[in-house]
Amino acid sequence: MSANRSLIVALVVSGALNLFLIGGIAGAAWMRQEARREAPIAAALAQRPPLWTAGRDLPPQQRRALRRTLREAALENRADAQAARAERRAVVDAMRDGRFDRAEAERRMAAARTLESGVRAKVDGRLAAFAEGLPPEERKVLAEGLRRVYAPRQRPREERPERPRGKNDAQP
């Protein structure tokens, strides 16, 4: 009787351990799938550094002034940026809820683009006004920083290696 009881306990413990391992493997596989699904979104967001990093090589006083200028522009444009996000969210919600109307979606996305374009224009205007007040040498430093922000993975044309031409490439 004692041998049967020990065998039953061993089987229960073994079953529980196997169930735990199978659950762990299944959970890890599911998390891996989720990470793959979210990776393109995170990569798209991470491609371009924040605009304030363009001033990282400026003198400390100018760097603080640039950050203050950009922060003021962000606060000034907060309502428009939130309205643009709300328009896009409304389109996504309509798609998900099954009450999708293409004309309404296009109208809302156009409104969001207009709002975002206005925000961008105001930020660019503030940035241009800030650059105008810099001495020429510091303006060059800011320009290099902006190049890094706007095209972080793209090297200037003069730094790019010559691309070998294939037989299908047009000759100049």
pLDDT digits (tens, 9 = 90+) for 98-128: 888 999 999 999 999 999 999 999 999 999 9
User: How far is the first Cα of the chain from the last one, in angstroms, to the nearest whole number?
Assistant: 93
* Burial of 46 (C-beta count, 10 Å sphere; 0-12/13-18/19+): exposed
Give dist(CA 91, CA 54) in Å, integer: 34
Single-letter residue type at 12: V
pLDDT digits (tens, 9 = 90+) for 5-59: 888 988 888 988 888 889 889 888 888 887 777 656 555 556 778 889 999 999 9
Give dist(CA 5, CA 126) in Å, integer: 80
